[in-house]
A = this chain, B = another copy of it.
Amino acid sequence: MIPAHGGRLVDRLVRSEERERVTKQLGSLPKFQLNEREASDLELIATGGFSPLEGFLNESDYVSVRDRMRLSNDLPWSLPVTLAVKPGDKAKYQPGQDLALVDVDGKVLGSMHVEDVYQVDHKTEAEQVLRTNDAAHPGVEYLQSITNTYLGGRISMVERRAHTQFMDFRLDPKETRVLFKHKGWKRVVAFQTRNPIHRAHEYIQKCALEMVDGLLVHPLMGKTKGDDIPEDIRFECYNALLGQYFPKERVAMSIFPAAMRYAGPREAIFHALVRKNFGCTHFIVGRDHAGVGNYYGTYDAQLIFDEFEPGEIGITPMLFEHAFFDLKSGAMGTDKTCPPAEEKGQRVFLSGTKVREMLSNGESPPAEFTRPEIAQILMKSMTPKS
Contacts and interface: CB of A to CB of B under 8 A. Distances in A.
27 contacts: A203-B331, A204-B210, A206-B337, A207-B207, A207-B210, A207-B211, A209-B336, A210-B320, A210-B334, A210-B336, A210-B337, A211-B211, A211-B318, A211-B319, A244-B328, A245-B329, A246-B337, A246-B338, A246-B339, A247-B337, A247-B338, A247-B339, A247-B340, A248-B340, A250-B337, A331-B331, A331-B332
A335 interface: yes
A122 to B, nearest CB: 39
Contacts of A337: 206, 209-210, 246-247, 250
Interface string A309-339: 0000000001111000000111111111111
Contacts of A246: 337-339
A211 B318 CA distance: 7
Interface of A: 203-204, 206-207, 209-211, 244-248, 250, 318-321, 328-340, 367
Nearest to A246: B339
Contacts of A321: 210
Contacts of A328: 244-245
Contacts of A339: 244-247
B244 A336 contact: no
Contacts of A331: 203, 206, 331-332
A321 B250 CA distance: 13
A24 to B, nearest CB: 51
Given A210-B320, A211-B211, 11 more contacts: A206-B333, A207-B210, A207-B211, A209-B336, A245-B329, A245-B338, A245-B339, A247-B337, A247-B338, A247-B339, A250-B336
A371 to B, nearest CB: 8
Contacts of A335: 247
Nearest to A199: B331
List 8 tightest A-B contacts by C-beta distance, closest first.
A206-B337, A207-B210, A207-B207, A250-B336, A245-B329, A209-B337, A245-B339, A209-B336
A304 B321 CA distance: 32
Contacts of A332: 331
A339 B246 CA distance: 5
Nearest to A318: B211
A332 B329 CA distance: 12
